[in-house]
Each structure stands twice: as C-alpha cells, then as structure tokens.
Structure 1
Amino acid sequence: MPSPAAANPATVPVPWSVIPDYHCFGCSPHNPSGLRLSFTAHPDGLQARFRLDRCFESYPGIVHGGLTGVVCDETMGNLIVLVRHVPAFTVSQRTRFLAPLLVDHEYRCVATLSAPDAGDLIQASAEILDADGHSCASSTATYRPFALDSVRHQLSLRDDEVAVLDQALTMANALSPNGVPT
C-alpha cells in the first residue's frame, strides 16, 4: 500500500474531491487499492511525492513499470485540470524508463505543460526523480479536453455530482502554467 499523504497545508486540492466517495486510482484517498497521490505546486508545474510498497511490486523490490506511467499521467492530467479548468482524456503517452523505481523509496513526479497547444490537444510532460534528484523516468503525453456534459453517458456520476464537479472545475484553486497558485 502506498504511504498515505501527510496532512499538508500546501496540498493543492483536485476538483474531484467535491465528490465525497470518488475512487480515482491515482489520487483518491478513498480507494484502498489506489496510489493516493496528493499534489503540491512546483515552480515548473505540479508535483506529487510518493513511496510505493510491495503491493505495487513487479520483480522483487521493483515497482511495476506500468505504475510509473500511471503516476506521470495522473500528475500531468491534474496539472491540466488545475491550469485549464477542464478535464482531459489521455490520447497518447510515451514513457522512457531510465532506472527502476524501488519499493519503499521516496520519489517525486514533476509535471509541466508544453508550450503551445496543438489545436484542441494539450501537450504535457513529467519526470520522476529519486530522493537525490536523479531522473528515473520521463513521460510525454497528449490530452484531449472534454466537457462533462459531452461524456455524461460514460461517467458513473449522478446528475447532482456532475453539477457539483462542473462547478468545482470552474472554481478550482488555479495554478499558472508554471505551477504558481493564482
């Protein structure tokens, strides 16, 4: 199980937290099987500090590589939501593995938005760094923003939850593109 995020006043709340029992695998504190990532502003964008235990192991002592992509995707996706006030589906993602992540070790993922958007698509990148600041993985991804109403038929949310989430997206604690709270 990942280490629970410590109560940190600098934590940037994600809009999904207005739904009392949201179960996002990446960032929900309500999902006992999830990563339970929390986010803080970073001068370059958004960051998540994390430590994964043996529940997320692949080879003995090594975090499963797929989770590396999940952590990057989650951090990039939440940066988009907080900067652009719109959720976005991942269209493509490419992850480069530089060193294996070790179970029960501290890491941080830093996500940034890439300059200019490609039409209606948003480009982002992320890097996972170890405690010494060495890069262990990097990821780039393309996202397609969406309106909640346009994907309502795919969401398992009640109408009142969609309305509350839509308002939370508009009112989210915004970050500037470089992660500075606005």
Structure 2
Amino acid sequence: MKKIINPWKGMEGYNCFGCASHNESGAKMEFYEDGDEIVSIWKPRPEYQGWIDTLHGGIQAVLLDEICAWAVLRKLQTTGVTSKMETRYRKPISTKDTHIVLRASIKEVKRNIVIIQAKLYNKDEEVCTEAVCTYFTFSKEKSKDEMHFTHCDVESEEILPLI
C-alpha cells in the first residue's frame, strides 16, 4: 500500500471538510492506494455522533463521498463532482471504535461518467455502510484551470498504515 500525496496540500484557500489536514472541524482523511482500491483509515470522534456513541449517517456519507472522489483523482488523474450517491446503512458504527476502514474502487467508466463503489468497515472488518457514487468528471483542461489539479501521485515507499 502506498500513501497518496494530496495535490492541494499547502495551497492557499484549500480547506476541504473531508481531506484538508488543517481544517479544525474537518474529517482530515488520508488515502492510500492498494491495487485497484483506494483506502482510508479513519478514527471516529464523539463530535461526529448522531445518536449516543453512534457515528452520524451524514458523516458516514461524507467519508464515502470523499473516498469516491479520491478514487477518481488517483485512478483517472482528473477531478469532477458527485452527481448521485446511493447509500445503504447496514450496521451502526460506534464513535468509540479505534478506527474504521473505507475502500473504494471504480466499477465503470462511460466517457465522463464514472461509477464508484465504496464500503465502510468497522474495527471488526464488518461492512457497515455501502455507497455507489456516480461521478461527473472534468476534462484535464478544466481540472487544471478551475480545480488547480495537474496530477495525483503516491509516495515511493510501500507502507502499512497504523491501525
């Protein structure tokens, strides 16, 4: 597994709720490439609860949406926007869990429409939430001009993320 380098890190004005490491109220997600999959290991926090000790469904949707975007960034080397997201909540996630794992992979590409499947696993490796995102991708030119995106690389070293 290799850590994905955030192409916007240090850019003025960049404050993504999902992936900006300096956003105090954000999720501060980091991503890894593992074969065809994009992976994120994330620590639930009490401030993201819905019901007592339960991770809010909206936060789960944010995490799944974000990892789908990173699948597009890394695998297709472009940007875009989510146009549809179908989410299935199967099992609650405790905000007391040591970590959760998200995995996403591209299932289909038709011109500029991409279908991505994502799953959220609890610390016991049980699937708790699933999503299918339909993504509208931008041209390389629009990605560069409007999203300040040129490429998305990985670090050279293989790593085992700390769980």
Residue 90 of structure 2 is matched in structure 1 by 98
Q: Deviations over 1:50-100 (max 9, x none)?
A: 112111111110111011111111011011011111111000000100101
Instruction: Tell me which residue corresponds to 1:41.
Output: 33
Aligned pair count?
154
1:55 equivalent to 2:35? Answer: no
Equivalent position of 1:4 in the other structure: none
Q: CA deviation at 1:148?
A: 7.8
1:173 maps to 2:122: no
Paired residue for 1:86? 78
- Secondary structure of the 1:24 match is coil
Residue deviations 1:81-131, cap 9 Å, x none?
Answer: 11111111000000100101110311100000003x133201101001112
The one-letter code sitting in structure 2 at the alignment partner of 1:128 is L
Q: Name whichever structure is richer in strand by fraction.
A: 2
1:139 has 2:131 as partner: yes
Q: Distance in 2 between matches of 1:118 and 1:18?
A: 33
Identity of aligned residues (%): 20
CA RMSD of aligned residues (A): 2.5
- 8 Å Cα contact 2:80-2:143 kept in structure 1: no
Whether 1:108 aligns to 2:88 is no
TM-score (norm 1): 0.76
Aligned to 1:3: none
Residue in structure 2 matched with residue 121 of structure 1 by the alignment: 113
Q: TM-score, normalised by structure 2?
A: 0.84
* Shift in alpha-carbon separation, 1:148–1:113, aligned structure 2, 3 A: closer
Q: Give the conservation status (yes or no) of the 8 Å contact 1:120–1:144.
A: yes
- Please give the alpha-carbon distance, in whole angstroms, between the structure 2 residues aligned to 1:147 and 1:104: 41
3-state DSSP class of the match of 1:61?
Answer: coil
Runs of 4+ in 1 over 3 A off after TM superposition: 147-153
Preserved CA contact (<8 Å) 2:5 2:153: yes
Distance in 1 separating the partners of 2:66 and 2:144: 21
Change (3 A) 1:141 1:129: same
- Where in structure 1 are there 5+ consecutive unaligned residues? 1-8, 156-161, 175-182
Q: Which amino acid aligns with 1:65?
A: G
Partner Cα distance (2:124, 2:36) in 1: 18
1:1-27 deviation line (CA, Å, top 9, x unaligned): xxxxxxxx9421122225155210001
